[in-house]
Structure 1
Amino acid sequence: MSKYLFLLFIFVGGGFVSCTQTGMDVKLLEQVESCVEVYPDSAMRLINLIENPEHLHGKERADYALLMAQTLDKNYLDSLQSDSLIKIAVDYYKGGDDKVKAGKAYYYYGKMLVAKGKVSEAMEAYLEALVFLKETNEYKLRGLLFEHVGYLNLGQGMHEQSIDNYRQSIHYYELAGDRIGEVYGCRNVARGYLAKQNTDSAHWYANRGLSLLTDTTNQVKSSLLQLLGLIAKEEKQYSQAIDYFISAIRASVNENDGLRYYLSLGRTYLDMGKLESAEECLNHCRAANDVFISSGAYNYLYLLKKEEHNYEEALSYKEKSDSILEVVRNGELRNQLLTLQKKYEADKLIMENKQIKLEKENQTYFYSFIVLLISSLSFYVIKTSKKKNRRNVEALRKNEKIIEGYVCKITELEQKEEWEREVKKETIGKLNRKILDLTLENKKIRENSSVEALFVLEELKQGRLVAERMTATERQNIFDFLDLIYADFISRIKAEFDLTKGELLLAAFIKLGFSSKQLMIVFDCEMKSVYKSKQRLKSHLGLNKEESLEQMIVLY
């Protein structure tokens, strides 16, 4: 009898301890919410003190999910976020009265979707967040949302929409009193106008950003100076552009950013024909840790040496640039494989956690049932006869058989999981082999296409071959070469515009930098015919009289 009462006391005491722990977790969540904006590192330490977040329910569970997403974002660990975690907060708040937390939940859900490459779903999440925050005073958060919507629109090539989004972000940053946010907004608008070649508006917004900037050590200052340099370069004001780039280099607080500005400076010297100064700047960028900076430096050195008619060294720089880009492509492939492997491991871990949780729940239910049954029996024994006790014994035996059945089912599930794991390993192995074979095949195709195309181009430049006598294979080699080095240039322009083969070939030569005199030799015609061919191509590309055909093709 005393044993049964002791077990009942343990059961009730466990429930009391559980309630106490929940109260401590709620206090920790309140502390995290109060310091996450100003002291994100302290917020990370506090939220990690919650030992069993899976035991939280309702509002506390949603608060934990939102604060964890916010803490990871503030500590620049947003790539570690789980969509299932932030989705808990989204599902809870979207049907409640707390519009601010609903807006925050959708904001961080959108950022997580962007990290996973789900652009359309991220746009929906951002717009949903703006709907929730419409009647609130969360001006800074609304500014951030419009800024991120602008990034998505810019990524889709919708410059007008992105500029409008950035302007709205500036408006809300101004309402929030966030001066740095206004500066970044002005820089974003200026970049949008520069992409549209509206240099006057770009210049105005870049200067406004500088005028708002009070902290001269802020890294955004150097990017604004670079932007002004690019605007001056676009307007052919090379001396002024050089001054801006040098100022950007001096104001830079980040080594990679400084090298990027050196790259812009070198390109400007190259456009001015100051080859020695250009080479000095570009050599400064060759050893950059950023592969895109080093690849760009080698590519500009290739153009510089080609300008000097040093073709042997030019080809050497071109090969180095291409090899760096090839490493990047291989790295992307490895990242894709690593992502696939991590997903497999994550799925495996989730299955194991579910299995452990199921076992714990079964044990909890079983022990709770036993404790309650024994407690009932302790009172039942006093008042009933031995005959009724036998029935209780039979009930216990029946329960034991049910438990044995559960154990058998658990064993079957474990065996099935082991078999599925082996099947997944075999499938991943086959996919890895196929990827390796296709990678080697693509490498051979690229090498063959580049060699043949370079030979044909050299023949055309030397006048030993004219376009009219080119075979379909030679023409296709040039098209494939352009697709290879200029991100599918021929394929994209062919898909977007209805061009003839001759017009495609003319666009290809212009992209490769052929002058009008070289085009006369290649097409074996007079300058007047070259001019008319360019006018027809310009018309088919939808350009007006004031727009430059060569500039459009170079920037396309």
Structure 2
Amino acid sequence: MRLLEALPATTELTRRESARYALLLAQATDKCEKPLLPCDSLLDVALDYYDDDERERAVALLYKGRLEVEMEQSERAIGFLLEGLEIIKKFPQDIETRKYLFSSLGNEYFDARLYEKAGKAYQELYKCCTTDKDKSIALNSLASFYAVTEKEDSALILQCKALEYAQISKDSAMIATIALNLSVEYSSKEANDTALYYARMSLQWLPGNKNRSDYHANIGNIFLDKEERDSAIYYINKKIEDSTNIKGRANALLNLSYIKEEQGDYQATTELLYQFVDIIDSIYFTEQSNKIQQLIHKYDSQTKVKEEQFKGQKKLRTAIACFTFCCFLIALFYQHRINKRKRLQLINEQNLKQAQEKLTSLETTIEESHRIVVLLQREHSTLIQEKEKNNQEIQERENQIKKLKEEKLALRNWLFKQSDIYKKIIKLSKQNVSSKKERSVLTDAELKKLKETVLDIYTDYIAGIKVQYPKLTDEDLLFLCLDEIGFSSQTISLCFGNIDTHVLAQRKYRMKKERM
């Protein structure tokens, strides 16, 4: 990578050398896990040089597709990858390029929620695998496909098989990744002990140069489900310390604030929420920057297409112009011979007159432009002052709205806590019994009363959710309100008449699908 980047800019390369250099630089950049955007114009050179019957064109299309994936241009990315697969069919011995094309295409279909197409691409990917490491990657991808298509048992079987191949290949990074996926899958099934076993395995195998934030977050969530809050706080803090992803850091701060709120440490909760809000603001500006960069890339691509069209039109216009010019020269030659002196004198007079007219017109235009510039400068200064004043007023109103929202939420919570049904729920959450079957739950009448009380107090909150997700039932809305209040999963399950959280987990999964 350093050798390729160190190539002097003044070095003159032939088209063939430039195309080869583009492929080598794109491959090195991709292996180093760096953005491919700087290779965009070079890849265009390679695509322009190589034909459909050359293997190198398929390689160029692979990296062009991955570049479009980075720029979130899904349709263009899929188009390049499919074109690459059509070309690579002519070279059955090049299994490596075919494997990378199917891998990238499957991932793009998966992200676009085209799960059936993604599953077929991953199956073709598995057929291209020759090493244990490649098989573990393909099986892990297939397991993700089965997981989202509600075939959890098949997903677990494939993930276990993928883990076996990864262990045979002794690839520590792959072992850590698959063990993490297994941990998440078992955690979703509330098999917390098994999930914790694989979570610790993933952390044990993770190479020292890899970021551990996601692994710490997973263990923290498992301890949170096991209601071991001290351990959960420890790993969530580790997640915050190690995180390089600002979104992940924001989620960790939010989860930690919930725990602190349950523990009654409201000062720590407030500090964590302030940090969370600061990060959310930073994420907003980062996303805006990324959108601008994507738009620039999109317009650059459109410009290249227009340039190619313009070149074709220019060649046609040039041919027509040459033909016309030749005819004109012939006519001019004969006219020149007939009346040379008279024609030259007339042309000189006309040119002089036109030059004088243009000079007068330019002087008038310059004066008018100067006047307009002065006016625009004054208007610009006035607009800047008005903008500053408006921004200050907007900020003050936003602060007032935020304060009113907080007061409104606190008032709702206070009203609910004054109700008898709230006291009943608190009593249920504190019951200490030796067996789950001995736990008391809300009766149907109490559940009805709870529903009426919550839906009455949190009317505005519920109305906003209904607008976004109209398919949610009253029970779903009740669950969201109880979760917003801060009740634990076990307490909410008791409110719905269940002694464990299994039914609640199913509800969460269903609601997550509907809200997606």
TM-score by length of 2: 0.63
How does 1:29-428 map onto structure 2 within 5 Å? 40-45=1-6, 48=8, 51-53=11-13, 56-57=14-15, 59-94=16-51, 96-98=52-54, 100-136=55-91, 137-172=93-128, 174=129, 177-213=130-166, 214-216=168-170, 218-254=172-208, 257-290=211-244, 291-334=246-289
Deviation at residue 51 of structure 1 after TM alignment: 0.8
Change (3 A) 1:185 1:517: closer
Matched, 1:548 2:506: yes
For 1:502-551, what per-residue CA distance to the aligned partner results, in whole angstroms no more than 9, with x for missing partners?
Answer: 6784464266366899999xxxxxx8xx79xxxxxxxxxxxxx9993233
**CA displacement 1:360-413 (0-9 Å, x = unmatched):** xxxxxxxxxxxxxxxxxxxxxxxxxxxxxxxxxxxxxxxxxxxxxxxxxxxx9x
Read off the aligned partner of 1:550 and give its amino acid letter: K
Question: What's 2:481 paired with?
Answer: 509
SS at match of 2:509: helix
Aligned counterparts of 1:450 and 1:440: Cα–Cα separation in 2: 15
Classify 1:64/1:148 alpha carbon distance in 2 versus 1 (closer, same or farther; 3 Å): same
Aligned length: 402
CA distance, structure 2, for counterparts of residue 248 and residue 444 of structure 1: 44
Cα pair distance change 1:201/1:470, threshold 3 Å = closer
Taking the aligned partners of 2:113 and 2:411, their CA distance within structure 1 comes to 34
1: distance between equivalents of 2:298 and 2:76? 20
8 Å CA contact 1:222–1:248 kept in 2: the answer is yes
Q: Hey, what's the Cα distance between the residues in 2 that align with 1:235 and 1:208?
A: 19
- 3-state DSSP of counterpart to 2:242: coil
Comparing 506-515 with 211-220, greater Cα deviation is found at 506-515
Tell me, yes or no, if the aligned pair for 1:510 and 1:553 is still in contact at 8 Å: no
Q: How many angstroms apart in 2 are the aligned matches of 1:215 and 1:208?
A: 13
Matched to 1:106, the amino acid is L
- Separation (CA, whole Å) in 2 of partners of 1:470 and 1:265: 33
Deviation per CA, 1:289-322, whole angstroms, max 9, x where unpaired?
A: 4233432322222232344354554444334333
* Residues 150 and 166 in structure 1, CA contact (< 8 A), matched pair in contact too: yes
Contact 2:202 2:215 in 1 (8 A): yes
1:120 Cα deviation (Å)? Answer: 0.8
SS in 2 for 1:286: helix
Q: Tell me the alpha carbon deviations over residues 187-225 of structure 1, each in whole angstroms, 9 at most, x when there is no partner.
A: 222233334453322222222222222453531211111
How many percent identity over aligned positions? 19
CA distance in 1, matches of 2:400, 2:108: 34
Q: What RMSD in Å do the two structures reach over aligned CA positions?
A: 4.7
Partners of 2:297 and 2:47 in 1: CA distance: 25
Supply the AA of the counterpart residue of 1:191.
S
Give me the whole-angstrom Cα distance separating, in 2, the residues matched to 1:317 and 1:274: 20
TM-score for both structures, normalised by structure 1? 0.59
The 3 A distance-change label for structure 1 pair 446 and 83 is farther
CA distance in 2: counterparts of 1:273 and 1:516, whole angstroms? 10
Residues 468 and 273 (structure 1), Cα distance of their counterparts in 2 relative to 1, 3 Å cut:
closer
The CA distance in 2 between the partners of 1:159 and 1:440, in whole Å, is 44
The answer on whether the counterparts of 1:41 and 1:75 sit within 8 Å (CA) in structure 2 is no
Q: Distance in 2 between matches of 1:341 and 1:168?
A: 35
> For residues 516 and 72 of structure 1, what CA distance do their matches in structure 2 show?
46
Residues 442, 208 of structure 1: alpha-carbon distance in 2 compared, 3 angstrom cutoff? farther
Aligned positions of 1:455-534 closer than 5 A: 455=410, 457-459=412-414, 461-463=416-418, 475-477=459-461, 492-494=468-470, 497=471, 505-506=477-478, 508-509=480-481, 512=484
Check conservation: 1:479, 1:508, Cα contact below 8 A: no
Any gaps of 5 or more consecutive residues in structure 2?
Answer: 305-361, 371-375, 423-449, 498-502
Shift of 1:125: 0.9
Please state how far the C-alpha of 1:110 moved relative to its aligned partner: 1.0
Q: How big is the shift at 1:164?
A: 3.0
Structure 2 residue aligned with 1:451 = 406
Amino acid corresponding to residue 138 of structure 1 in structure 2: D
Amino acid at match of 1:208: K
Letter in 2 for 1:223: T
Deviation at 1:282, TM superposition (A): 1.9
CA deviation after TM superposition for structure 1 residue 273, in Å: 1.4
Aligned residue identity for 1:268: I
Alpha-carbon distance between aligned partners in 2 of 1:119 and 1:510, rounded to the nearest angstrom: 39
1:121 offset after TM fit, Å? 0.9
What is the CA–CA distance in structure 2 between the aligned matches of 1:474 and 1:272, rounded to whole Å? 29
Contact 2:222 2:232 in 1 (8 A): yes
